[in-house]
Structure 1
Amino acid sequence: MTVTAATRVLALLGDPVAHSASPEIQNAAFEAAGVDGVYVAVRCAAADLVGFMNGLARAGGGGNVTLPHKEKAASILDDRSEAVRRTGACNTFWGDASGRLCGDNTDVEGFRRALRSFLETDPRGIRALLLGGGGAARAALLGLLEEGADEVLIYNRTPDRARAIARRIGGPSTRVVPMLRELAGEGFDLVVNATSLGLNPEDPPPLDLTMLPRVGAAMDLVYGRHTTAFTAAATEAGVRTTDGLEMLVQQGAAAFERWWGREAPVDAMRSAVEATQGV
């Protein structure tokens, strides 16, 4: 990679960012696509977010936003995508020709692409259980509804958080389950773990899958070098399962497409992800 004065600079903004695989993924994509760009990770405090986003965008670049700044980033934008408006979060930004700061939440598109790839069938009409109440759950809920899920039940340890995302994004197809025991006897085509449980190898699963008489597939949005308790339990129960690596690749691919206006080299990005995880 040769960096010149004409090279576009794109950056991941968040705190922390040292753990992120995004620089490896995006720089592999830039090289494979033959575009003149470089991607770096920048530890960024909330007070500095406006300056970083505007400065990068006005200089012809852009980037991604990660925890804990996605909601603040959404409030900074001049032009918000439908996904940003509905989820209240922005994870991808760039500048347009008129100098406006534009943004999207490619977590939604990344989830949709990963879901279709995993299920290998049309998700329309499925009945899903969504575990979680944070940003990942918002993206997954919007993705499920946009893919035509017939019904989505949401469970979170803090019911008010589940109700908040249901009010913001859901509708008649969405129902909050306030108590875990209320899920006993329920069957689902898909169970999605959008909680943070699993980031630590010692974390327990967010749900005992044996309490559900039918689970068609299980999708964990957590990824890492270890197998999470959720995916291990699903495998033991004979349920098809996947982790969050493909969503990571696909949201990165969607971001690449926003910045460069061309199809992302997904195979190169997937190979880069697998290399960072020792796959």
Structure 2
Amino acid sequence: MPDSQSQSPRHAPIAGVLGWPIAHSRSPRLHGHWLSKYGIAGHYIPVPVMPEHLADVLRVMPRMGFVGANVTIPHKESVLALADVVTDRAALIGAANTLIFRPDGKIHADNTDGYGFIANIRQNAPDWHADQGPAAVIGAGGAARAVVASLLESGVTELRICNRTRIRAEQIRSEFGAKVIVYDWAQAGNMLEGAATVVNATSMGMEGKPPLRVPMEALAPGTLVTDLVYTPLMTAFLEEAKARGCQIVDGLGMLLHQAAPGFERWFGHRPEVDDELRAIVLG
């Protein structure tokens, strides 16, 4: 007679996070907390995958009991070509961070970064409205594209963007339309004048990265300022914005909120993003 204990893990859904490297990821701690909190028999593990092995790994994961996965650097763009179904928002952003392995064997790719970005603002700045005035986004990489898409979808009527390599910002304008206005990197400080929402969507200011050097004199008190960087939690960018009387939102909440839709799809329970979760993930 088979040992029931040895059989049960085969039926527990498994999800994980794919990246290279992946040891630094906070996602296992985040999802592990939710699994424990809601008493769900499931697993969430880090899956280190070198770029050249990504296609092979994705093919075998469903047969190993995986119901889905998060995707992080450097695979967020590559998985789009390997997925069978790509949501409109993932296609528009040009990257996926959430995969669902469907029962029919197809891989469904989505991007929840924009959802996480907006949900973080709405939780921590409940009086914020997208149409209060222009939004200014610093950066034009994958994270910035998710931010731009979500701000425009939320009702921002004018979106200003600048990037050290201007052509990447120009590409965003060509794809997202006339509401996007491109500024030269040298004019980043001017871009903040009259802005109601300001976002650092670069990695500048992160531990181990160069500082973000953007003049902030034009920031008006009461402006909503947020930084996607969360190591450190209080970046120099947010410190200065706070000193200028701005309303600030740190970047950790975006990480927490973007994880919720995937968890719900994989494990069947909509999780809560609260102070307890923040404390667990910060460790």
TM-score (ref. length: structure 1): 0.90
Q: Say which of 258, 266, 269 aligns to 2:273.
A: 266
Q: Say which of 151, 154, 174 aligns to 1:147.
A: 154
SS of residue paired to 1:187:
coil
Alignment of 1:81 with 2:84, yes or no, is: no
Partner of 2:144: 137
8 Å contact from structure 2 (residues 125, 249) kept in 1: no
Amino acid at match of 1:189: A
- CA distance, structure 2, for counterparts of residue 49 and residue 14 of structure 1: 9
- In structure 1, list runs of 5 or more residues that go unmatched: none
- CA distance, structure 1, for counterparts of residue 209 and residue 74 of structure 2: 23
Q: Say which of 18, 25, 40 aligns to 2:23.
A: 18
Shift of 1:6: 1.4
8 Å contact from structure 1 (residues 95, 101) kept in 2: yes
- CA distance, structure 2, for counterparts of residue 164 and residue 57 of structure 1: 36
8 Å contact from structure 1 (residues 156, 178) kept in 2: yes
Q: Say which of 34, 37, 46 aligns to 1:41.
A: 46
8 Å contact from structure 1 (residues 187, 214) kept in 2: no
Shift of 1:34: 2.5
- CA distance, structure 1, for counterparts of residue 15 and residue 57 of structure 2: 11
Shift of 1:60: 4.3
Identity %: 34
- CA distance, structure 1, for counterparts of residue 224 and residue 143 of structure 2: 18
Amino acid at match of 1:217: L
8 Å contact from structure 1 (residues 188, 214) kept in 2: no
Residue-by-residue CA offset, 1:30-49 (whole Å, 9 max, x unaligned): 12223221111121111111
Shift of 1:86: 0.6
Amino acid at match of 2:168: R
8 Å contact from structure 1 (residues 89, 135) kept in 2: yes
Match runs of 1:123-272 below 5 Å: 123-125=129-131, 126-168=133-175, 170-181=176-187, 183-184=189-190, 186-200=193-207, 203-212=210-219, 216-225=223-232, 227-267=234-274, 270-272=275-277
Partner of 2:112: 106
- CA distance, structure 2, for counterparts of residue 178 and residue 146 of structure 1: 24
Aligned residue pair count: 274
Q: Which structure's CA Rg is the greater one?
A: 2
- CA distance, structure 1, for counterparts of residue 239 and residue 130 of structure 2: 27
- CA distance, structure 1, for counterparts of residue 197 and residue 128 of structure 2: 13
Shift of 1:147: 0.6
For residues 61 and 247 of structure 1, do their structure 2 counterparts lie closer, same or farther at Cα, with a shift above 3 Å needed?
A: same
- CA distance, structure 2, for counterparts of residue 215 and residue 187 of structure 1: 11
